[in-house]
Amino acid sequence: MKLAQFFDKEGNLRVGMVDGRAVFPLAFSGDMLDFIAQRPEVTRESHAIPLEEVRFAPVVLRPTKIIALGLNYRDHAEESKGEPPKAPLIFAKFPNSLAAHLSDIRWDPGITQKVDYEAELAVIIGKRVKDCTPQRALDSVFGYTCANDVSARDLQFGDGQWVRGKSLDSFCPLGPWIVTAEELRDPHGLHIACWLNGDLVQESHTGNMIFSVPEVISFLSRHFTLYPGDIILTGTPSGVGTFRDPPVYLKDGDLVIVEIQGIGKLVNRCRIV
C-alpha cells in the first residue's frame, strides 16, 4: 500500500491511498502520524484526486526524531577519503528541515553557498521500539520512502559537526509517499539513484549498505527509544557533489530527483531566497 499525506482544498492535512495515477482520501480525520500510531482500518473515499492536482505534504510531520547515517555506503566512505565506520555513524536533522515532494529546496546564499544532494532510503518507524534485536527490528517498520539529505557543506565541514549544515529549512525532502512494509518486504533489494537536471549523478543498490536496516534500528534502539513516525535516513552512496572533481553544488533552478525502486521519484526544485 502506498500512503500519501497532502493538503485538501481547505488546507487541512489528509492521508490518502495512492492507486495508479490518483490519490484516494481516506475516511480518517488525523494526519499521517496519527494514522501510524492508531493503525485504523483503511477505508478510502470514493472520489479520486489526480496526482498532478495533489498538493503533497511531507510524508510525516511532527516526528520526535529525524536520525541520519553518515558513511553507510562503502563507496561513499571511499570517495570522502574516510574510513568505513565500525558502528553506525549517526547525526540528527531537525523537523523544520522537512519538505514535500514537488516543494522547493531553499537557502540563503548569505548562509551557505555549497549546497549538496544525497539520495537516501528513509525508514518510517511504526511503533515504540526499545532494546530491539536485529532479528525483530523489521517488525517495527511502518514503511519506506525516498529522502534527500540536503547538506550545506561549508557549514557541515566548517562547524566540525553536522547538525547545522543538515538542518536548514527544507533540507530534508521526503516522499512522494510511504510504501508500507508489507508491500516492500526487502529494503536491501532496491536500486537507488539521483538525477540532477536530467543527468545521473548517483546510482547504487541498497544492498550495498554497510549497516543493514535491522542492524541500524537495533543499534539506535539500544541508545534511545524510537517512536511511531520517527524517521531514519540510511545513508547515501557515492556521487555526491562535494567530492566530484570539480565539485558540483546545487544552484537556483536546479531540479533534483531521487528515485528508489519500488517506491517512486521524489522531485524538488532548488530556489535561492
Are 126 and 36 in contact, with CB atoms under 8 Å apart? Answer: yes
pLDDT of residue 80: 85
**Residues found in the chain:** 273
pLDDT of residue 46: 86
pLDDT of residue 2: 98
Mean pLDDT of 99-118: 98
Percent of the chain clearing pLDDT 70 (strictly above): 100
pLDDT of residue 179: 98
Pairing of strands 104-107, 264-272: parallel
Taking only the tens place, the pLDDT of each residue in 221-264 is: 999 999 999 999 999 999 999 999 999 999 999 999 999 999 99
pLDDT of residue 224: 97
From CA 219, how far away is CA 7, in angstroms rounded? 35
Nearest of 113, 101, 67 to residue 219 by alpha carbon: 67
Mean pLDDT of 93-107: 98
Q: Which residue has the cell 519506506?
A: 144
pLDDT of residue 81: 83
Question: How many C-beta atoms surround the C-beta of residue 87 within 10 A?
Answer: 8
pLDDT of residue 142: 98
Taking only the tens place, the pLDDT of each residue in 150-177 is: 999 999 999 988 999 999 999 999 999 9
For the chain, which domains are there?
Answer: 2-56 (no CATH), 66-272 (3.90.850.10)
pLDDT of residue 98: 98
